[in-house]
Each structure stands twice: as C-alpha cells, then as structure tokens.
Amino acid sequence: MRIIRRIKGKKTYFYLQQSFRKNGKVVTREKYLGRKMPRQIDTIKTVLMRESREEIFSKLARVRKNFQGEWRKYPETVKRQEKEEIAIVFTYNTNAIEGSTITLSETREIIHHNVAPNKPLKDIRETEAHNRVFLDMLDEKEDITNRVLRRWHRRIFQDTKTDSAGQFRNYSVSVGGYIAPDREKVNNLMNRLVVFIRNADASAVELAARAHYRFEKIHPFGDGNGRIGRLIMNHILWRRGYPMLIVQYKKRKSYYTALARDEEGFVSYFLRTYLKIHKTWS
C-alpha cells in the first residue's frame, strides 16, 4: 500500500493505492484522498486493507471450520498424541531459530525417552522446559496476561538464565539494527498489548500476527523473546479453534525479513504463510 501524488496543472491530488490478489489475479485499487493528506490516513489504510483481505478471511474461516470438524472426530488418546507431536516439532523449530544445537530427532529422544545427546546442557534443559510449557499452554484456560508471559519465560529459562528468568528487562537492548523501546516504557507497552489482545476486533489469525509482531517490537525480556512471542501467537490460534503455525527453522530468513517490515507487511506475510501451510483445510 502506498500514497500517490498526482499533479494536474497547478493542483495536487492524493490517492491511496494497493495491490492484492483476488480470485487468482492481482488487482490494483485506488482511493482518492483529496487535495490534502487527511489526518485519519491510518484509519483509511486499515479499512482498505481489510476490504482487500475479504477473500483471505473467507479462506481462514473455512480452515477453522474444517479443522474443527476433523479434530472432533479424534479420540482423546489420539488428540493427546497429536498435541505431543506438535509440541516436539514446535519446540525443535522455535529453539533452533534461537541457536539451539538440538536436532528434531534428538528433541524426540529427549522428550520420549529421556535420552540426552552429547550437546550443551543449556540446550537440553531448554528443550525439556519448553516442551512442558507448550503442552501446558494448550490445556490451560488462562487468558494472556503479563503474569502468564513471565511465568512461561521463568519456566523455560529458570535453569539457564537464572538472573533474568521471568523478569521484564530493566536495561536497554537492540536487535540487529533495531533499538527496542526504553526500559521505562516496557511495562506500559506490555499492559497495552495485553488489552489489545483481549479486545481486538480482528480474526484470530490476524490477531496472532499483530500480537506476535508487537510483542517482538517491545522486546520485553532481555532474551528469549522469540520463543515467548511464538507461544503467544499459538495460544491465540489454539484458544480460538484454529490450527497452530510452526515457523520452520529452514524458513527463518523469510520470517526475520518479515519481522523487519512494518506491521502491515508482517501481517501480510503471516496470512500468506498460514494459508499456504494449512491449504488442505481451506
């Protein structure tokens, strides 16, 4: 989406232009803004963006309906086995993205057979802890709050980051070229994020994308934000009846590239990726 300025004679006119895919074709839409830039430009952008995503939201609704229809058919024992396998695959990928040396097969051995590979103890401990937190997250009924997020962080890192596990940072950090908000703003920003998640008027998949993006930009913990952020998005999806999304280690470059964009850019990436992974349900 971009703003276009056209000059006709001595007059200037502003338009909002967006290209999107509809029925398999790329469609370009323009909205006339006037001779001056309107103050409510962000609201106009949001409305236009949602209109362009109607087809995507329709597919997402089918994903939920078809997934729930199939999930209800499973016996409880099978559901538990499915959750355990998802937990293993998710734990492997989310830890690998953050530098863990534990492979997928080693993750399975650690979880199923308590067999520790010849790898750093830190990676083994975080694998065990993350798997437990993920499975508990699927079954717990609590909404996302700062207390819940700090508890997840503490449980995952209590053996490996003993001086910071479960605590929001009280120092400044930067990630690559991105400078996170000042430490004095962290609590307020996190309170606002929790309220946003609770009250947002958005589809579950869009909400998962926006919550994950905003959490990563706040970067409330000194370390471990990626893993907590990916737990947040799957908590939102699962609690609202949608299949979860596993960001694959081998696709991490496109994921990081999307996170470096603005929020709308990340949401577009997230929606496309989600539908591609769950196309069998749509």
Q: In whole angstroms, what is the distance from residue 256 CA to residue 80 CA?
A: 32
Contact 117, 110 (CB under 8 A): yes
Place of tokens 């056209």: 6
Catalytic residues: 219
Using CB atoms within 10 A of its CB, is residue 45 exposed (0-12), middle (13-18) or buried (19+)? middle
Q: In whole angstroms, what is the distance from residue 98 CA to residue 127 CA?
A: 12
Listed in sequence order, the DSSP H helices in the chain are 41-52, 54-71, 76-97, 104-113, 121-139, 146-157, 186-199, 204-218, 225-239, 252-259, 263-277
Listed in sequence order, the DSSP H helices in 98-181 are 104-113, 121-139, 146-157
Measure the CA angle with vertex 143, ends 173 and 96; round to 5°: 45
CA atoms within 13 A on the CB side of 1: 21
- Spatial neighbors of 251 by CB under 8 A, at least 6 apart, are none
CA atoms within 13 A on the CB side of 255: 19
Between the two ends of the chain, the Cα-to-Cα distance in Å is 26
DSSP type of residue 278: T
